[in-house]
Chain A
Amino acid sequence: MLIKLARLSLFNRRGTVLMTLLSLVISITLLLGIDHLRHEAKNSFTSTVSGTDLIVGARSGQLNLLLYSIFRIGNATANLSWESYQRIQNHPQIAWTIPISLGDSHRGYRVVGTNQDYFTYYRYAGQNSLQLQQGEVFSDVYDTVLGAEVATRLGYQLGDEIVLAHGIGQVSFSEHKDKPFTVVGILAPTGTPVDQSVHVTLQGIEAIHIDWQQGAPMPGRRVSAEQAVEMDLTPKAITAFLVGLNSRAATFMVQRQINEFRGEPLSAILPGVALAELWQMLSMVERLLLVITLLVLLAGLVGMTTTLLASMKERQREIAILRAVGAHPRSLFLLVQLEVLLITLASLLLAFALLFVALWFGQDLLASRYGLFIGLNPIRSSSLQLVGVVIGLSLILGCIPSWLAYRRALTDGLSVRL
């Protein structure tokens, strides 16, 4: 009965209640959303490098190397030579390597030059290896294997021909039009940046740049696609390579040896350590964001309290009637708290729904812009904790109007001061 009373009383004041609800939904969505993104970003980043022991590139900061080689964020400052790669690859402790050559793109999606080892050794989200949804792994110079998202977003089928562009902008003015690639395979979705990559052979990368120099076609010199295949397509340099070791115990030894490599300055990094550094850098920002969202939540809850307090004046009559039919003052306290609870629960439900919808629409944007793969389900232990915080805070603040109702019930009795 009390719940029915609370529900109908709220419905009776639906104008103000709706505005209160709106402000609460926004602040709770913000809180849950930030928390969700925080966790999902970490998961997304961590799962992307699950099988890799070391990443090697030209000497640079470990974060920079991690971000451009794995997450395709930012650019390499320098390349490393093919000879160095060949020499390190033969290290007895190294089980496998995956060469990566970056710098081209296709309609905003990055092109990754690599070899078959990519499909054999790359691991994500634990022990998962890449699976082909359709077709097969590239074998010819002008073959390409598309990530799942590239294929669905751009509507490519097996056998389609695509043209790569130089550089990594959404719009490029210099395209490798003379050497189109044929789609021979499409990968299954992985929830990592692989989904947004266009994979070609290292020879393919070499072939499209054979008549280029310093980022532009060499004037007066044209090498056709057929001619290029006949030439020596051994790469001269790659951007980075991923390393899998025979034994994790050797990680630090191999890392040191690569860092002290005499041929050229190289950096070998542990992805886990680099990620930890990233989290540490972000933790301040993260905490600040959380504090801000908590304050926004508090503002929303104070707004609710204000609305309820303001409504107490027009509800004197209600209180007097309820007292007359035998309601205890504590029933009136409970009634107002129930209203607070109903508003809060409704806001929470709506906030989860809104967040889900926002993630549904924002997922692609986050993936294509920032390489973040965000799951749609925002319910986890930390979000449930936040739900607890929201309910707790609202009930604490709800005590103010509830206490007023209690006082009114005690002092005003059956009389109504209009």
Chain B
Amino acid sequence: MTDKPKKYVIDLKNLQFRWPGSSGWQLQLPGLQLEAGQHLFVRGASGSGKTTLLNLLSGITTPHQGELWLQQQPMHRLSASKRDTLRAQQIGVVFQQLNLIPYLSVIDNVLLVARFAGQSISASEERASQLLSRLGLVESIHQRAAAELSVGQQQRVAIARALLLRPALLIADEPTSALDADNRDAFMQLMLAEANDSGTTVIFVSHDTALRQYFHWYLDMEQLAQGVQAC
């Protein structure tokens, strides 16, 4: 039994994972520790085990070996349903695109996470509205259906949803790939500002190394053995 790590938001030890039936480890990560506010840039092309890492970090799947602690919670030992609840409460996820349920209103999309975290929706409504406004989404579009928004707007709604409950960790999977350069920079700045405001650690996955400039820490999926490096 390892001692409970004290201060890390995420603490990974000797993580190993493989898909059922395949031989050899699909993902091997000797160690990864992030403290609160330490944002990490993960560079990885598709097929590099990026999705697997995200599924592990968000508790969708569990490692075959090793340990994965999230906010002092042993994700590798928790039941699936506890991991689901933990994900709702402690992890925000932003996808590449199509983050929103198209037929729900913008505000309901944001509040979705409160429902699955078991928190009162009315208590979160004010923060949801504030977050959206700070992300440049004026109040008049909060009640619109998500499908009516532009891609850039949708990605910002996704950030609001991911940060609604001030989670410990925000996982962003190429969230800027559908945006043009101007939008991309604005998006990065907004996302990191809001993450800092919420005290949330960001793990940002992209193949676009130009975005590395926003981060202090860097992990290359193709050279996992080297571990996390400073930028």
Contacts and interface: CB of A to CB of B under 8 A. Distances in A.
A binds B: yes
A325 B112 CA distance: 7
A243 to B, nearest CB: 70
12 contacts: A1-B121, A2-B115, A320-B95, A322-B112, A324-B87, A324-B93, A325-B113, A327-B88, A328-B85, A330-B81, A413-B61, A414-B55
B140 to A, nearest CB: 20
A326 B116 contact: yes
B153 to A, nearest CB: 16
B113 A8 contact: no
B98 interface: yes
A12 interface: yes
B55 A415 contact: yes
Contacts of B98: 317, 416
A37 B204 CA distance: 67
A9 B101 CA distance: 9
A2 B102 CA distance: 15
B117 interface: yes
Interface string B84-110: 111111000101001111111000100
B116 A413 contact: no
B51 interface: yes
A292 interface: no
Contact of B115 (A1, A8, A11): A1
Given A414-B54, A415-B55, A326 B101 contact: no
B201 interface: no
A331 B121 CA distance: 17
A326 B104 contact: no
Nearest to B109: A321
B142 interface: no
A61 B99 CA distance: 76
Given A324-B95, A413-B58, 7 more contacts: A4-B108, A323-B84, A324-B87, A324-B93, A325-B88, A325-B161, A326-B117
B60 interface: yes
B60 A326 contact: no
Nearest to B161: A325
Nearest to A326: B88
Interface in B66-91: 80-81, 84-89
A215 to B, nearest CB: 73
B84 A328 contact: yes
